[in-house]
Amino acid sequence: MKIKMGIIKDIVDINDRIDNSYNGTCFAYDWFLKLKKSNKILRIYDNDKLIGFMPIFSSNNPNKVIFQSTMYIPYGGPVLFDVPTEERHKIKYIRSIEKELINYLQKKYTELDFSVDTKITDIMPFIRSGFTIENRYTYKLDLGIGLENLYEKFGHDRRKDIRKAFNKELKFIVDDKMKYFDPNEAMKWEKNYGSESTVKETEKYIKKTLEKERGMCFVALDEDIVIGGVHIAWDKNTAYILYSYYERKNDDIAIAFLYYKIFEYLIANKIVRYIDFEGSVFESIEDWNISFGAYQERFYNLHWNKLGKTYPNIYDYGEK
């Protein structure tokens, strides 16, 4: 195994290769990386064969620091084009890649903060190399079981919310032109964080997912008034719930109704097999996700720095 620095254009048909990879997500597509001003990648070779790559997300000091915030980039880390099917060989293969990545990263950078996706479950090489491991969970649904079976798994309160929404005759709008969806409303939660991202950046990303047919906006209308909105992005296999908002007095009803109709939309149009609620460290949000019958998947944020600084507040994000 060996690692070489490169740029996105080095890999021909990179988005197709991501879609057909072992673990690639829409957060590694070339246009997404460009939106994040992250042109550099680490190319991963086995002998002379390109077997994967890792996006290098930009920071205030891109020559010394890799920084990925899961608030805006849910999954990062290596994208592996193929892995052995036999479990023992797969574990050894992924570990050999991780060891080579660690060796390269720790020599070149002074600080590292990035996540791996839910398929990268063996992180022992990172633990042995002194990384601080932040255990996170996301929640997913298998849309392949059909809408009726999904609905049967919803909690009592969610089914009640959805019945109320239908009784109120809420309208469901597939907003492919972003006529109704308001990114300003969707980004109000950012005020709790003092984050550097802007509504314009978010709007640009949402519009790009619509343009690339890798995302959609949805809104709920009550007598032609928008009472909730949700944006999702997707890759070949999974859709991710990224941005949402609702009018407070219609809170659970609007979002529960939108989620139900989004599941219906994805199934009817055969877009993806899975939907990912995009993980949270907050119990209230986790409880909401679980109430749809979602199952839990683990992923990891990985932290390391050359000076040996500790990470005592890795979960201290404030309530979203």
Q: Are 277 and 139 within 8 A, CB to CB?
A: yes
Fold of 2-130: Aminopeptidase (3.40.630)
What would the two tokens of residue 18 be? 């991501």
pLDDT value at residue 191: 57
Helix (H, G, I), strand (E, B) or coil at 30: helix
Say how many Å lie between the first and final Cα of the chain, rounded: 41
Residues in a beta bridge with 142 = 274
Q: Return the amino acid letter for 236.
A: K
Cβ proximity of 68 and 76 under 8 Å: yes
Residue 314: per-residue pLDDT:
75
Mind listing the pLDDT tens digit for each residue in 116-149?
999 999 999 999 999 999 999 999 999 999 999 9
Alpha-carbon separation of residue 51 from 11, 126, 191, 231 (angstroms): 11, 20, 41, 32
Same fold, 2-130 and 139-297: yes
How far apart (Å, rounded) are the C-alpha atoms in residues 124 and 259?
Answer: 36
> CB under 8 Å to 84, separation ≥6 — which residues?
90, 93
CATH architecture of 139-297: 3-Layer(aba) Sandwich (3.40)
Q: What is the DSSP letter of 269?
A: T
Three-class secondary structure of residue 126 per DSSP = helix
The ranges of the chain with pLDDT < 70 are 60, 63, 189-197, 248-252, 315-320
Provide the pLDDT for residue 186: 86
* Angstrom distances, CA of residue 187 to CA of 71, 207, 266: 11, 15, 24
Domains of the chain by residue range: 2-130, 139-297
Tell me how far CA of residue 231 lies from CA of 145, 166, 176, in angstroms. Answer: 23, 21, 10
CA distance 91 to 94: 5
Q: What is the DSSP letter of 47?
A: T
pLDDT in tens, 47-77: 999 999 999 987 767 767 878 877 778 999 9
In terms of Cα–Cα distance, which of 272, 237, 282, 262 is closest to 137? Answer: 282
Q: How far apart, in whole angstroms, are the C-alpha atoms of residue 284 and residue 150?
A: 21
- Give the separation between CA 186 and CA 170, rounded to whole angstroms: 20
